[in-house]
Structure 1
Amino acid sequence: MTDPARYQYREAFVLVEAVFDGVPVNYCPYIFVDNDAAIARGWAQGFPKKLASVYQTRSFSAPSLAAAPLAKGSRFGASVSAHGERLATARIQLEEPVADPTTVFNRPTTMRRYFPQLAAGLQEKPPVDELTMSLTDNLAIVDVWAGSAELKIPEVAGEDMNLIAPVRVGRGYRLGMAYSVTDLRILKNYVE
């Protein structure tokens, strides 16, 4: 990772709890990144990545007023914007650490891989239309905290994420997560 401008990026995504063939899963209908290489890889995997500006409060190891420590009462915020419009704003005030990260992130993630054809007469016959499951290795979830949260997803012209805006907001979570996507399971092929 000695070329962070090319290979590190910020990301914001929405996961919706669902059930596929009796198995609890997360479905990813929206995901935003600030790096074109991340978009290309995401599309190949089935993540519906779009280019956006993603900002979040970062915690620093050197103590200071700007460090946002992982401690009760600390406040964190995040936002995602695209095309000059704010698409979502989230805030959390930390209340308590979560001892078991699997109580927060415990379902596999599914996506829709869809690649249309643009040739006349073939637009309704995509060569790829699959429901997939992301298979990962080296999942690490650290520093999980829970607290009171706010989430705003406004109506924005040209976007439809507001259609799944929450009616109410429960607990929020602040955590660090890393993993490698190493395989893809095709759950359903809609072309066949």
Structure 2
Amino acid sequence: MIDQGLSGYSLPLSPSGRSSMLTPPPWHFSGDILMVDYRVNPEAAAAFLPPGLSPGSDPGAAAAVFAQWQWTSADGAELADPQRAQFGEFLLLLACEFRGEQLARCPYAWVDRSVPLVRGWLQGMPKQFGEIHQTRPASVGRAGPRISPGGRLAGSLSVLGRRVAEAAVTLRAEAAEPPRLHTVPLAHNRVIPPWLPDEKPVSELVASVVDGVEFSPVWSGDAELTLFDDLPADLADLRALAPISVGQGHYFSYAETLHGGRALES
């Protein structure tokens, strides 16, 4: 991007272009995932789907996902600055379809760093700031669980000083396959509201484009999930996505390379 001698992929622009908050894709991600499958009221889930998406063959299927990520640009430069390269994330996923293609819709997401927040808005992913914490497994000592039967891992999300989500998983055995909602593309709305006089807003339905997907062995077990007991007023709509039942929980490591998006034409 070039603007009157200034350059950069994103704001802020500068003469060299090195001041941009975002580097251009591809972006590489590796992370540790704590995930709980649950079900919501199918009518409530459908209300969070934009035109073009349908609930599909499993209406009401949902997941709460905690993740601790490390990311890099194509050249890997961020690895020299761990504070920039690492972040926590919590997101909700709803099962959906587009013309028979299975997808997952993310109606809400939170991160604890500014770069993934802005990068999410570029994608159409509705990221906000939150405090995300997650149990770290240990391979030595007694200060962390083992990834083995009986290991217990937990996660929490706080927003504006209120605890919004808590989850815990007690591992039982390795799963035969990854949880479904973590294997399908994510569908987002890229939204740019009007700012200039007579400007038309932009709202595009898109899906993520990734490759280089890798899963570690997936451990599954008994799950506990508490959502939305103490919400700020601007998050009151979240109550509609509270669990009506809780399924299994999962813990695994995951990697992907995100290349950008593709349009979903309704």
**TM-score for the superposition, normalised by structure 1:** 0.89
CA distance in structure 1 between the aligned counterparts of 2:207 and 2:181, rounded to whole angstroms:
19
Corresponding position of 2:118:
40
Q: Report the CA distance between 1:27 and its aligned residue.
A: 0.6
Provide the alpha-carbon RMSD of the alignment.
1.8
Give percent identity, aligned residues only. Answer: 33
For residue 99 of structure 1, the aligned residue among 176, 179, 184 is 176
CA distance in structure 1 between the aligned counterparts of 2:197 and 2:165, rounded to whole angstroms:
37
Give the length in aligned residue pairs.
185
Confirm or deny: 8 A CA contact 2:219 2:252 kept in the other structure: yes
Corresponding position of 2:192:
115
Look at both structures and tell me which one has the larger radius of gyration over its CA atoms: 2
CA distance in structure 2 between the aligned counterparts of 1:4 and 1:172, rounded to whole angstroms:
29
Q: Which 5+ residue runs of structure 1 have no aligned equivalent?
A: none
CA distance in structure 1 between the aligned counterparts of 2:96 and 2:181, rounded to whole angstroms:
15
Q: Report the CA distance between 1:11 and its aligned residue.
A: 1.0
Q: Provide Cα deviations, 1:14-71, integer angstroms capped at 9, x if missing partner.
A: 111011112111111111111001111111111111111100111133x111121101
Question: Which has the larger share of strand?
Answer: 1
Q: Report the CA distance between 1:8 and its aligned residue.
A: 1.2
Q: Which 5+ residue runs of structure 2 have no aligned equivalent?
A: 1-78
Query: Which amino acid in 1 is paired with 2:124?
Result: G
Q: Find out whether 1:2 has 2:68 as its counterpart.
A: no
Query: Which amino acid in 1 is paired with 2:121?
Result: W
Secondary structure in 1 aligned to 2:184? coil
For residue 131 of structure 1, the aligned residue among 202, 205, 219 is 205
Mark the CA change 1:14 to 1:104 in structure 2 (over 3 Å): closer, same or farther: closer
**TM-score for the superposition, normalised by structure 2:** 0.65
The 4+ residue runs of structure 1 with deviation greater than 2 A are 99-106, 118-122
CA distance in structure 2 between the aligned counterparts of 1:84 and 1:41, rounded to whole angstroms:
24
Q: Provide Cα deviations, 1:110-136, integer angstroms capped at 9, x if missing partner.
A: 1111111145665xx41x201110011
Corresponding position of 1:13:
91
Mark the CA change 1:162 to 1:175 in structure 2 (over 3 Å): closer, same or farther: farther
Query: Which amino acid in 2 is paired with 1:148?
Result: D
Q: Find out whether 1:87 has 2:161 as its counterpart.
A: no
